[in-house]
Structure 1
Amino acid sequence: MWSITAAICALLWFSNGWAAQLPEFTQLVKEASPAVVNISTVRGAKEGEPILGPNGQPLPDIFQEFFGRPHPRSEEGRPRPQSLGSGFIISSDGYILTNNHVVDGADQVIVRLNDRRELEAVVIGVDERSDLALLKIEADNLPAVKIGHSANLEPGQWVVAIGSPFGFDYSVTAGIISALGRSLPSENYVPFIQTDVAINPGNSGGPLFNLEGEVIGINSQIFTRSGGFMGLSFAIPMDVAMRVSDQLKKQGYVSRGWLGVVIQDVNKDLAESFGLDKAAGALVAQVMPDGPGDRSGLRDGDVILRFGDKEINLSADLPHAVGATPPGDTVKVKLVRAGKQISVDVTVGELPTEQRQASAPGQPAKKANRLGVKVTSLSEEQRSDLEISNGVVVSEVLGGPAKEIGLRPGDVITDVNNQSVETPKQFSSLVAELPADRSISMRLIRRGRPGYITFKLQD
Structure 2
Amino acid sequence: MVALSLVLVAGLTVAGCTFEFGNGPGSTGSTATTANQTTGTSGATITTQGPGNIVDEGNGLASPAQAVGAALGPSVVNIAVSGTSSEGPFGQQYEYQAEGSGVIYTADGMIITNNHMVTDNNGDPVTSIQVTITTGEVLAATIVGRDPLTDLAVVKVSAKSRLPVATFVTSQPNVGEYAVAIGSPLGYENSVTLGIVSGLGRTIEGVSGNEGVALNNLIQTDAPISPGNSGGALANASAQVIGINVAYESPVSGAVNIGFAIPSVVVTKVADEIISTGKATHAYLGVGTQTVTADLQRQFALSRSSGILVAEVTQGGPAGKAGIQQGDIIVKIDDQEMVKSSDLLVAVRDKKPGDSVQVTLDRDGATMVLTAILEERPANLN
The two structures share one fold, judged by TM-score above 0.5 = yes
CA change 1:303–1:28 in 2 (3 A) is same
Paired position in structure 2 for 1:288: 314
Q: Identity of counterpart residues, as a percentage?
A: 37
Paired position in structure 2 for 1:332: 358
Paired position in structure 1 for 2:198: 178
Letter in 2 for 1:32: L
Paired position in structure 2 for 1:124: 144
Paired position in structure 2 for 1:113: 133
The answer as to whether partners of 1:97 and 1:132 remain within 8 angstroms in 2 is yes
1:334 and 1:227 mapped to 2: Cα distance?
A: 38
Paired position in structure 2 for 1:24: 64
What SS does the corresponding residue of 1:236 show, helix, strand or coil? strand
Deviates more, 1:248-257 or 1:337-346: 337-346
User: Is 1:162 matched up with 2:162?
Assistant: no
Indicate which of 328, 332, 336 corresponds to 1:310: 336
For structure 2, list consecutive stretches of 5 or more residues without a partner in the other structure: 1-56, 85-94, 121-125, 208-212
The answer as to whether partners of 1:37 and 1:86 remain within 8 angstroms in 2 is yes
What SS does the corresponding residue of 1:182 show, helix, strand or coil? strand
How much has 1:41 moved relative to structure 2? 2.7
Matching of residues 85-100 of structure 1 within 5 Å: 85-100=100-115
Matching of residues 376-391 of structure 1 within 5 Å: none
Paired position in structure 2 for 1:142: 163
User: Is 1:39 matched up with 2:65?
Assistant: no
2:166 and 2:73 mapped to 1: Cα distance?
A: 9
Deviations 1:269-321 (A, max 9, x none): 56696555xx5421222323322101012123332232235332222111222
How much has 1:113 moved relative to structure 2? 1.2
The answer as to whether partners of 1:222 and 1:229 remain within 8 angstroms in 2 is no
For structure 1, list consecutive stretches of 5 or more residues without a partner in the other structure: 1-16, 45-79, 357-459
1:83 and 1:288 mapped to 2: Cα distance?
A: 36
User: Is 1:200 matched up with 2:226?
Assistant: yes
2:278 and 2:271 mapped to 1: Cα distance?
A: 9
Aligned residues: 302
CA change 1:315–1:102 in 2 (3 A) is closer
Matching of residues 131-280 of structure 1 within 5 Å: 131-139=151-159, 140-149=161-170, 152-184=172-204, 185-186=206-207, 187-226=213-252, 230-268=256-294, 276=304, 279-280=305-306
Paired position in structure 1 for 2:370: 344
Higher RCO (Cα < 8 Å, 6 or more apart): 2
What SS does the corresponding residue of 1:327 show, helix, strand or coil? coil
Letter in 1 for 2:365: G
Letter in 1 for 2:117: V
Letter in 2 for 1:90: Y
What SS does the corresponding residue of 1:285 show, helix, strand or coil? strand
Deviations 1:227-256 (A, max 9, x none): 998422222222222232223222222322
What SS does the corresponding residue of 2:64 show, helix, strand or coil? coil
1:163 and 1:228 mapped to 2: Cα distance?
A: 24
Deviations 1:66-108 (A, max 9, x none): xxxxxxxxxxxxxx99670111101112110011222225332
CA change 1:343–1:23 in 2 (3 A) is farther
CA change 1:228–1:200 in 2 (3 A) is farther
CA change 1:174–1:297 in 2 (3 A) is same
Paired position in structure 2 for 1:422: none
1:41 and 1:354 mapped to 2: Cα distance?
A: 24
The answer as to whether partners of 1:198 and 1:229 remain within 8 angstroms in 2 is no
How much has 1:160 moved relative to structure 2? 0.8
Higher helix share: 1
2:203 and 2:317 mapped to 1: Cα distance?
A: 24
The answer as to whether partners of 2:98 and 2:117 remain within 8 angstroms in 1 is no
1:104 and 1:86 mapped to 2: Cα distance?
A: 14
How much has 1:115 moved relative to structure 2? 1.8
Higher strand share: 2
Deviates more, 1:104-113 or 1:202-211: 104-113
**Which entry has the higher C-alpha Rg, 1 or 2?**
1
2:330 and 2:254 mapped to 1: Cα distance?
A: 39
TM-score when normalising by structure 1: 0.59
How much has 1:258 moved relative to structure 2? 1.5
2:350 and 2:58 mapped to 1: Cα distance?
A: 41
CA change 1:275–1:157 in 2 (3 A) is farther
What SS does the corresponding residue of 2:214 show, helix, strand or coil? strand
Letter in 2 for 1:129: L
CA change 1:201–1:34 in 2 (3 A) is same
What SS does the corresponding residue of 2:380 show, helix, strand or coil? helix
Deviates more, 1:141-150 or 1:161-170: 141-150
Letter in 2 for 1:258: Y
1:339 and 1:18 mapped to 2: Cα distance?
A: 62
